Structure 1
């Protein structure tokens, strides 16, 4: 029986894949940037082979250092998950350039450099993800679930451990 992932708005790979990797992350978190890069490299072959469904859940956690990530998330159109993935990849890569500037400058960057606009629907989706995070007792980002087994990055899982966990499940 295939497990259906809750709030899989940003889902990559086959929904019927035997391994489900979910990550709660925030664009303003440096650990999330490192995890995103490692997961991007590690998971691609599994996704392409239909072995992994990778679900990204932007956790708009009300914490001061994460607020600019929440602001950026409000500009993502979740109906275009591939574009959102590419935007996340770029914003994580450039995180040091924008995560400590002011909110008006971030909005200007998102509209002028990326051609984005605020997406009111994303706020509703964000609230659903926050509710799920509360229900699942997610306290920090990134928090990774592999077939519902929870890991804290970087303490409990890194790129090598991510690959090992997936290989053990396949």
Structure 2
């Protein structure tokens, strides 16, 4: 299974952290894991551009924190449960990515949760229901890789160029 196997008809814009106006004409669906270095690359390189489009009312981002079973990403699953689901989510995600190398080296899951609370000032969120829905949606739509980003029928990852992304957003 690859990105070409993603069934976009099985995706929704209801489940996830919504950034921007619900009435925005373009929805950008982002499946990410906070521990993934490629998701961090996507965020670092494209967040400012996406925020410009959000601010202009052109897009709404739907960020789906995707819990993965892979041992190298399990620490991200713990951190996901500390990301707020309101407008402060992007700031929290940015702080989490900036410190990814620090909390990512912690061994114990309770240490990671404590780091989120004590060092990043985040609190545990009631997230189980959303996590379950995101996992089910990903499975039904054949989303396996992260980051997986969807705009309309287009499915891509962090390797998309800024010009290609702008072209999709300006359609």
Q: Report the TM range for the smaller structure's normalisation.
A: 0.7 to 0.9
The TM-score, its normalising length taken from structure 1, stands at 0.85
In 1: Cα distance, 2:21 partner to 2:84 partner: 21
Q: What runs of 5+ residues in structure 1 fail to find an aligned partner?
A: none
Cα distance change, pair 158–76 in 1 and its aligned pair in 2 (3 A): same
Deviation at 1:123, TM superposition (A): 1.5
Q: What runs of 5+ residues in structure 2 fail to find an aligned partner?
A: 1-11
Residue 34 of structure 1 aligns to a residue whose secondary structure is helix
Q: How does 1:56-135 map to 2 (within 5 A)?
A: 56-78=63-85, 81-102=86-107, 103-119=109-125, 121-135=126-140
Partner residue in 1 for 2:3: none
Residue 82 of structure 1 aligns to a residue whose secondary structure is coil
Cα distance change, pair 76–44 in 1 and its aligned pair in 2 (3 A): closer
Residue 42 of structure 1 aligns to a residue whose secondary structure is helix
Q: How does 1:4-19 map to 2 (within 5 A)?
A: 5-7=13-15, 9-19=16-26
2:161 matches 1:158:
yes
The TM-score, its normalising length taken from structure 2, stands at 0.85
Partner residue in 1 for 2:151: 146
The 8 Å contact of residues 35 and 158 in structure 1, kept in 2 or not, is answered as no
In 1: Cα distance, 2:153 partner to 2:132 partner: 21
Q: Deviations for 1:58-106, whole angstroms, at most 9, x for unmatched residues?
A: 000211111111001122342xx22222111111122112213212321
